[in-house]
Structure 1
Amino acid sequence: MATGSTTPGAPPPPAGAPTQKVSDVISAFRPSRRFKTPNPNTSITSLDFDDTGELAIVARDDDTLQIYNCKEGKHAKELKSGKYGVHLARFSHHAQSIIYASTKVDDTIRFLSTHDNSYIRYFKGHTDTVTSIALCPSSDQFMSCSKDNTVRLWNLQSNNYFGLLNLHAPYLAVYDPSATVIAIASPPTHSVVLYDVRNFDKPPFANFDILEFEQRFLPQGGDWTKMEFTNDGKSLVISTNGSGHFVLDAFEGTITHFCYRKSGHSGRLAPGATAPSHNTNAPNGITPALGQGDTCVTPDGQYLIGGSSEDGLLVWDISKPAAPNNYLEPMESIPGHGKAAIMGYNPRTNLLASADKDFLLWQPDPDLMM
């Protein structure tokens, strides 16, 4: 079981206070609650909030799911998936049920009731590792990507997928906030394609070629780790494990910002990457853990928050006008306790969550907002 502790000098755990403007508090975030993982060799691999913002769920590579009450700043429940493993855990729109990808036995997506730890449904079809799961913002539909070169569209009420796209290496997919567009990224082909949700069986209406941006901004290389629309739908963020992240115009596919980080990435495998059997470059020869990207966009769409190879968080103001060279340096480097290899911003309150080995909740420190 995870244990929680208040960070010395930090404000008390969240209590559901009214949300202030993100711009008023962004520089004041500090860790307020830390939940330690019992085994130092265990890593958290995914993070998600429920629709109310009251609950957070993380998947760990010890085959467990941990649920936290963000309102009370407490660990709420542990669920075990020892036989199948667990990754990419996502709340449905019903807080007491989740879907997640398997890491062992098969590539089935499992629909679980967290109330009594019983399976509601199995989504079978993928024949290789699931690399991405995205819930539709406005319905019980979701989509999944896999190394089997397919994207499948599902409904939580049915075991069978209702849509299938055959694409080369479609490792990331996401709905836009209006749930009318899906973006699918193929890192090996350096492209993002956009489909009309209602006409997903028709050719994509847009195709963004990212190769030129990668050659310009990532000469040392970098795999794509996450893709996310801003809440206004105007920008599309592609995070990487290289020296920074791309912010694209979601309509034109042009670059507005390259969010540069000097210190490098937080060390997780990218979706679609194959873990080496022995990694001599990793600390102590330990293979990097899975991840879901080390960035998140704030709900107002103004800031990108991310991790690096160092402790703490980096903040970029992506609402700024684009610079002539498109480079954007961090506006803040926020101190923390440990690396932020997984990131999430609560959809309802000014509460941040980060994870690597341990799980941290962050909130604005009132003393820093004076």
Structure 2
Amino acid sequence: MLFSFSRTDSTETSSIHKDTPMTQLDDETVRSMAIGAVFPDFGGKINSLDFHRKDDLLVTASEDDSVRLYDIATAKLLKTTFHKKHGADRICFTHHPSSVICSSKYNLDATGESLRYLSMYDNRCLRYFKGHKERIVSLCMSPVNDSFMSGSLDHTVRIWDLRVNACQGILHLRGRPTVAYDQQGLVFAVAMEGGAIKLFDSRSYDKGPFDTFLVGGDTAEVCDIKFSSDGKSMLLTTTNNNIYILDAYGGEKRCGYSLEPSPNVIIEATFTPDGQYVVSGSGDGNLHAWSINKRNEQVACWNSHIGVPSCLKWAPRRAMFAAASSVLTFWIPNDSNAEPTRMDTEAGVEAEHPSQ
């Protein structure tokens, strides 16, 4: 097993939305979260979703080969594009609000076009990234520059640069790889077989990891990593539906939660932007919230109303999170008994551009 990277040469607010500053997020606000909007028109499971870091935008990638862009302040679908040739699997925003990176589901062996840099503005593929030979299961963009990372079932993690086609660095490993940047872009984490988490300096990753953490007693594969916004904590979700919160500096386990199993569905958990709460899906179709400072005390439990959510993320700048299965839901603080808004999504739909 190779543990070091090698370099290669080459606002308008709608009535459903409450603008609660993150500094005011508390147990009462978290408990009040309820569905504010429902988007039911997907033709299959939603594979992944991502919020833009600075704009009120959300993007989804679905098994129906669609990529959809939403305005989260107005709960409005802005655009839908279909990608029948390559499919739409993992997705994340670049720094530009109308550009995304999307991984392919089809023809990976034939074309090697495993990643695409897409413009949602004019539905063009700006660049292909070739290298992975199997499905990508983890994808993340650096918060500070044009670098991004992908982890694939071909047992490699690759580092890329939006400006060039060629892979900039590669890590060979065993097991299902999972990757994440910290919120400052200084460090990235790679999870590998046996519950090992290796930390790399983003500026000198070719020197190998500077630290390794082990999730003691659990050798299940890590399917998701997230850093808290202050960089002090790491959130790990495993394939057997265990959640761990680690100290990002020393690797000590701060909290751990075991959730109901969800056969064939990998759940996702998320930090709130202040890093004080964790929200997760579960195999029983419920959503759970815990306060990190109160260790194992559960703050809230809600029926997701959409079955087992495969995607779950909290918006970076709002008191809002999105949960998705084959239905997308926006959750917001609820001060009344108002019914959630069911959205009729008639925004422009475009097929895959001929250049793709």
Aligned position for 1:298 = 272
Aligned position for 1:21 = 24
Larger mean Cα displacement after TM superposition, 153-162 or 297-306:
153-162
- How far apart are the structure 2 equivalents of 1:336 and 1:255? 28
Aligned position for 2:71 = 69
Alignment pair present for 1:201 and 2:206:
yes
The answer as to whether partners of 1:132 and 1:146 remain within 8 angstroms in 2 is: yes
The answer as to whether partners of 1:231 and 1:301 remain within 8 angstroms in 2 is: yes
- How far apart are the structure 2 equivalents of 1:52 and 1:33? 21
Q: Aligned in 2, Cα 1:54/1:267: closer, same or farther, shift over 3 Å? A: farther
Match of 1:334 among 302, 312, 336: 302
The answer as to whether partners of 2:176 and 2:222 remain within 8 angstroms in 1 is: no
Q: Aligned in 2, Cα 1:149/1:95: closer, same or farther, shift over 3 Å? A: same
Which structure 1 residue ranges, 4+ long, deviate > 6 Å from structure 2?
none
Question: Number of residues paired by the alignment?
Answer: 318
Match of 2:36 among 29, 32, 39: 32
Give the structure-1-normalised TM-score: 0.81
The answer as to whether partners of 2:194 and 2:221 remain within 8 angstroms in 1 is: no
CA offset digits 1:111-158 (Å, max 9, x no partner): 011011110001111222222111001111111112222221111111
Aligned position for 2:342 = none
Give the structure-2-normalised TM-score: 0.84
Aligned position for 1:273 = none
Superposition deviation, residue 266 in structure 1 = 4.3
The answer as to whether partners of 1:312 and 1:338 remain within 8 angstroms in 2 is: no
- What is the 5 A alignment of 1:56-205? 56-106=58-108, 107=112, 108-169=114-175, 171-186=177-192, 188-205=193-210
Match of 1:308 among 279, 282, 296: 282
Match of 1:364 among 303, 328, 333: 333
The residue type paired with residue 306 of structure 1 is S
Q: Aligned in 2, Cα 1:266/1:13: closer, same or farther, shift over 3 Å? A: farther
CA offset digits 1:316-335 (Å, max 9, x no partner): 11123x5xxxxx25221123
CA offset digits 1:290-349 (Å, max 9, x no partner): xxx4211100001110111233420011123x5xxxxx2522112342233210111111
The residue type paired with residue 310 of structure 1 is D
- How far apart are the structure 1 equivalents of 2:127 and 2:35? 37
Q: Where does the alignment leave 5 or more consecutive residues of structure 2 unmatched? A: 1-13, 338-356
- How far apart are the structure 2 equivalents of 1:268 and 1:100? 22
Q: Aligned in 2, Cα 1:154/1:77: closer, same or farther, shift over 3 Å? A: same
Superposition deviation, residue 242 in structure 1 = 2.6
The residue type paired with residue 206 of structure 1 is D
- How far apart are the structure 1 equivalents of 2:176 and 2:282? 25
- How far apart are the structure 2 equivalents of 1:177 and 1:45? 23
- What is the 5 A alignment of 1:309-324? 309-320=283-294, 322=295
Q: Aligned in 2, Cα 1:20/1:205: closer, same or farther, shift over 3 Å? A: closer
Q: Aligned in 2, Cα 1:30/1:251: closer, same or farther, shift over 3 Å? A: same
- How far apart are the structure 2 equivalents of 1:146 and 1:140? 20
- How far apart are the structure 2 equivalents of 1:209 and 1:78? 41
- How far apart are the structure 2 equivalents of 1:237 and 1:338? 24
- How far apart are the structure 1 equivalents of 2:17 and 2:262? 27
- How far apart are the structure 1 equivalents of 2:121 and 2:194? 42
Q: Aligned in 2, Cα 1:254/1:199: closer, same or farther, shift over 3 Å? A: same
CA offset digits 1:9-58 (Å, max 9, x no partner): xx94227565562215111100010000354xx11110101123411111
- How far apart are the structure 1 equivalents of 2:232 and 2:21? 27
For residue 189 of structure 1, give the secondary structure of its aligned residue in structure 2: helix
The answer as to whether partners of 2:186 and 2:203 remain within 8 angstroms in 1 is: yes
CA offset digits 1:172-220 (Å, max 9, x no partner): 011111211111001x33211111111111121111122x3317xxxxx
Aligned position for 2:313 = 344
The residue type paired with residue 306 of structure 2 is G
CA offset digits 1:44-81 (Å, max 9, x no partner): 11010112341111111111112111111111111111
For residue 182 of structure 1, give the secondary structure of its aligned residue in structure 2: strand
The residue type paired with residue 338 of structure 1 is I
- How far apart are the structure 2 equivalents of 1:90 and 1:172? 15
Alignment pair present for 1:227 and 2:219:
no
Larger mean Cα displacement after TM superposition, 223-232 or 75-84:
223-232
Q: Where does the alignment leave 5 or more consecutive residues of structure 1 unmatched? A: 1-10, 216-221, 271-292, 323-327
Q: RMSD of the TM alignment (CA)? A: 2.1
The residue type paired with residue 193 of structure 1 is K
Q: Aligned in 2, Cα 1:354/1:112: closer, same or farther, shift over 3 Å? A: same
- How far apart are the structure 2 equivalents of 1:233 and 1:183? 12
- How far apart are the structure 1 equivalents of 2:20 and 2:214? 43
